[in-house]
Chain A
Amino acid sequence: MKTYNKTVLTIVLIFVVYTLIFTGYIYYSFSNFAFEDFYKRLELRAGTIATMKLGEPAESLKVKETYENFLENLPNQKYYILPVQNNRIADKIPAEIPFKVISNTLKSTSFNHNKADQFYTGLIYKDAQKNEYVVVVSAENYFYSHHIIYLRNLLITSLLFSLFLIFVISHFVLRTLIRPVKSIIKEVNKIGSENLHLRLEVSAIKHKDPISELKYTFNDMLNRIETSFETQKNFISNASHELNTPLTSIIGEADLILSKERSIPEYEKALTNILLEAEKLEEKTKALLFLARTGYTENTQRFDKVRVDEILMEVQQNLLKVNKNLKIKMDFSLLPESPEKLKIKGNQQLLHLAISNIISNACKYSDNNEVYLALGATEQSVVIVVKDNGIGIPESEMPYIFDPYFRASNTFNYEGYGIGLPLSRNIIKMHNGELLIKSVEKIGTTVQIILPTGNYQL
């Protein structure tokens, strides 16, 4: 939990720095205010006292009245009037006045200074006879000596208190934030390669907060992993089985024929059998190789302008050449009027292979019953529909139909390797198309091939 502590510390640190700056600023500006305000009051008093003591009698009387009526004495207030001669103090300077105050006042006509709680203001006064005096007023700054200390103590205690509060709050907030993550970790730890079907618990309503989104993302990832895991498992077992069957019969045949001396026709027969099995094996490995190639190398194929209706006609003719009993019904009633809509960007051979795979599947699994074929073009794509009234695909097996070597449970009467459909899908994917399959068991299957139009202009 090192990151946890780190986060708590970072949050606390940020808050402490923030509050320190804040309280420091308050303290500084307040004491500054206390100084400035007090000096102003002292200056006012120095001015009035000087006028009172040294000014014209009429004026001094007026000022004295105001002073006594409206200005109360500050705590520890004292004043000194010192005559100046030749820029020097004529009399002896009283010991309680710091020398600095006198000398600086002489230099700059007015000066403020403080020594602990005692504040001094000196100013130069010229009376009617042009005599110069230095008037110094001193008093104790009660606000500074008492209130500011109180303020300081208050700020420090509140700082300490907020520190404690921040620590506790950040701890709690983090704990509540981390709890769902911890529960996710706990749940995820339960999922291993032997129980990949487990999922994280999610609420039925899809929330938008990051934690539940994380859960959904995780579940999605698990779905993908599970499917590829299953595919992998199925593929290996099926592939080895498929390759093994012809090999076993080859070995068996050879073993049998070599067990004793035989006549030439017998050898010939055995060798023909072996050749047949070997050819089957070769066919399978070839298909496998093709599947691998279409699955991984997308950029090696050259794409040209291809007309889908031409491919369909070719496929139909080729299939009829192989088997005359096939009934393929074409519906071109919905062909678009402009042939440009039927041109797509693709590879003729590959598309031919994919479509003929799908159509021959349709023929095969409907026992050479009628297979319907239709073609149309929408705004963005060309749609080919292949429909048969065959055995269909059980609903529970629909997710696996694109897995190599997978064969539906109701296909044991039909020959096949389970390579055709994944191969077709790979090819259609290469063309940025879509392959949609809808099927009801024992009723039939509808396959939709959607290929994007090439947008060729006339």
Chain B
Amino acid sequence: MNAVKKVLIPTDFNVKSLNVLLEFLRRNPADQFEVTLAHGYDMSYSISDLLFYSEYKLLKKIQSEEFRESCKLIENTYQSRLTKIKFGILTGSTKRYVKNYLEANKIDCIVCSNDYKMKFKSKNSFNLLPYLKASKVALINIESTQNVVSELEHSEQLADVLLSGIEQ
């Protein structure tokens, strides 16, 4: 069996953004992956915020229930090929920080979709893609996964993920 590949996917924690992951898994049916869904989040500089920083609480704030459910759904679907879906919050917006993060987590490749427009719930979130592109880790671009769901933009429902397999 091949070694587990560590994949990082930048996300805005919208259900639709998971389509990139789904598409990637469909295209690589043989390998095993450990997926990190990375989200850029600018920390506030307030001392109390820094003191009581909790990733769990932050994730709870910026992820919707539907998103977590969808992740579970994907995990169930690709049980044997997905060792884990992790959530990562990147709090720094420098190239060096992102590079260090990728190195520390031993990320093998980055998967993203250039066509996907990030839509953030929190105004503190930022798009990680430019920083990721600057790093030397292999970047895999998944072209637009245009499908039936696109008419109902960001309906934030499980349906966004469930119907992604149709018309391909």
Task: Name A's B-contacting residues (CB within 8 A).
Answer: 329, 331, 333-338, 341, 372, 374-379, 381, 383, 385, 387, 389, 436, 438, 440, 443-444, 446, 448
Contact = CB atoms under 8 A, between A and B. Distances in A.
Contacts of A387: 148-149, 159, 163
Nearest to A383: B158
Given A377-B73, A378-B73, A448 B148 contact: no
Contacts of A446: 152, 155, 157, 159
B80 A334 contact: no
Nearest to A342: B76
B116 to A, nearest CB: 19
Interface in B42-76: 69-70, 72-74, 76
B152 A438 contact: yes
A376 B163 contact: no
8 nearest interchain CB pairs?
Answer: A333-B165, A336-B76, A374-B162, A337-B79, A378-B72, A379-B72, A385-B159, A378-B69
Given A331-B166, A334-B162, A387-B148, A376 B77 contact: yes
Nearest to A440: B152
Interface in B122-136: none
A333 B163 CA distance: 9
Contacts of B70: 378
A385 B152 contact: no
B78 interface: yes
Contacts of A374: 159, 162-163, 165-166
B110 interface: no
Given A443-B152, A448-B157, A337 B80 contact: yes
A372 B157 contact: no
A337 B166 contact: no
Contacts of A333: 26, 77, 165
A377 B26 CA distance: 18
Contacts of B76: 336-338, 341, 376-379
A94 B165 CA distance: 124
Contacts, number: 86
Contact of A334 (B69, B151, B152, B165): B165
A379 B72 CA distance: 6
Nearest to A337: B79
A383 B162 contact: yes
Contacts of B79: 336-338
B9 interface: no
Q: Which of A374, A389, A436, A448: most chain B Cβ within 10 A?
A: A374
Nearest to A338: B79
A383 B70 CA distance: 10
Contacts of B149: 387
A343 to B, nearest CB: 13
B73 A334 contact: yes
Given A337-B79, A376-B77, A378-B76, A438 B157 contact: yes
